[in-house]
Amino acid sequence: MADFIIKTGDMLQVTVPPPALVPQLVAPVPLMGTGATVLISNMPVCLQGDELPPPIRGPLMYTAPPFVTPGVGTLTIILLPTNLTIRSTGSSKPMLLKGATFQAMFNVSAPAMQPTPAGPIPDPLLVKPCQAQFITTNMTVQAG
């Protein structure tokens, strides 16, 4: 089945399960494509590896009420076969496709804390499964 190719300027939307809140993931994050040999509307296409934009690659702050003292974690994207082309022209890496909603994992490295008179209590949930999807403005160029 043909699907739309993801390019620079398209977005990654990650839905973090409530009550967890990762401020940098509330709004869709723009993607930067590294596929300079293939352009759509003069924008490089996104290749496998471009699915995690630089602004959200590093540690991200989060809270998960009642754990209101911020903690830190990192995001991992788990693409499905429907989110990738078989291979792209001129590159050994597949291109990203809109595809279906896919999984992302928010892995806590320093848990958020719940302040209590007896001392802070850490958030016990160290892996937060998220849903993610690509949002594209490309409605013309498909892989198929």
Per-residue pLDDT tens digits for 132-142: 999 998 888 88
CA distance 52 to 91: 19
Say if pTM beats, i.e. exceeds, 0.85: yes
Q: What whole-number percentage of the chain has pLDDT above 90? A: 83
Per-residue pLDDT tens digits for 85-130: 986 555 589 999 999 999 999 999 999 999 999 999 999 999 999 9
Domain positions in the chain are 3-138
Least Cα distance to 15 among 127, 110, 104 occurs for: 104
CA distance 140 to 41: 10
**Strand, helix or coil for residue 139:** coil
CA distance 139 to 44: 15
